Chains A and B, each alone.
Chain A
Amino acid sequence: DTAVSQTPKYLVTQMGNDKSIKCEQNLGHDTMYWYKQDSKKFLKIMFSYNNKELIINETVPNRFSPKSPDKAHLNLHINSLELGDSAVYFCASSQGLTAAYEQYFGPGTRLTVT
């Protein structure tokens, strides 16, 4: 049973399109995150949600809109895709917001914008 799952695993699309990436965790965690792995392999936080409430919005363009329909899901919708959006996007979850909790990562979604 996969703890944190993401779909799709690969996404190839053209500039200007709108796409979504879905994330689900079956760990009963309260907190979920989206990270972007950039070209230099850095993992950078984009968003975090706690009990469906937005906690962190890390200066991400407003073309990126996270949606948390319930605690187990955090989806990422991207409008008007640009070449620079090409990256690997990781979803993660943790038991709670405090730093004492480790994060569990999904397998990543490789987005390629052509």
Chain B
Amino acid sequence: ILNVEQSPQSLHVQEGDSTNFTCSFPSSNFYALHWYRWETAKSPEALFVMTLNGDEKKKGRISATLNTKEGYSYLYIKGSQPEDSATYLCASDSSGTYKYIFGTGTRLKVLA
């Protein structure tokens, strides 16, 4: 994998459902993986910064895991709420050049 890829591109879930999405990144020379939440008409806000293989981070109903050996991270949202509707971006610095490569994001819509 040469770029940062996210899947799915978009999804709709019902309120109360749990969901997850994937970020894939180059596993060689890995330095860090960032997750951001980007609401429409606002700017991206940091959710997590993950650096170690096996890292698990949690903020409220949102959690993330990291596998640096295989080059992927999962973001989980438990009991989705309409206010969780946003684009979730991941970004990786996999070269140590301080250059973050962003994925295209997963657009989540939570239906009430």
Interface size class of B (residues with CB under 8 A): 20 to 34
A43 to B104, CA, bound (A): 8
A45 with B44: CB separation less than 8 A: no
**Which residue of B43, B49, B104 is within 8 Å of A41 (Cβ)?**
B104
**Chain B hits for A45, CB < 8 A:** 99-100
Binary per-residue interface labels of chain A (36-62) against chain B in the complex, 1 for a CB within 8 Å, 0 otherwise: 000011111100100000011010000
In the complex, A12 has a CB within 8 A of chain B: no
Interface size class of A (residues with CB under 8 A): 20 to 34
Given contacts A48-B98, A99-B98, contact A105 B104 (CB under 8 A): no
**Chain B hits for A107, CB < 8 A:** 42-43
A104 with B93: CB separation less than 8 A: no
A62 to B36, CA, bound (A): 30
In the complex, B81 has a CB within 8 A of chain A: no
B46 with A102: CB separation less than 8 A: yes
A108 with B43: CB separation less than 8 A: yes
**Which residue of B31, B96, B102 is within 8 Å of A43 (Cβ)?**
B102
**Which residue of A44, A56, A90, A102 is within 8 Å of B43 (Cβ)?**
A90
**Chain B hits for A42, CB < 8 A:** 102, 104
A58 with B51: CB separation less than 8 A: no
**Chain B hits for A99, CB < 8 A:** 31-32, 34, 49, 51, 93, 96, 98, 100
Give me the interface of A with B, judged by CB distance under 8 Å. Answer: 4, 40-45, 48, 55-56, 58, 90, 97-108
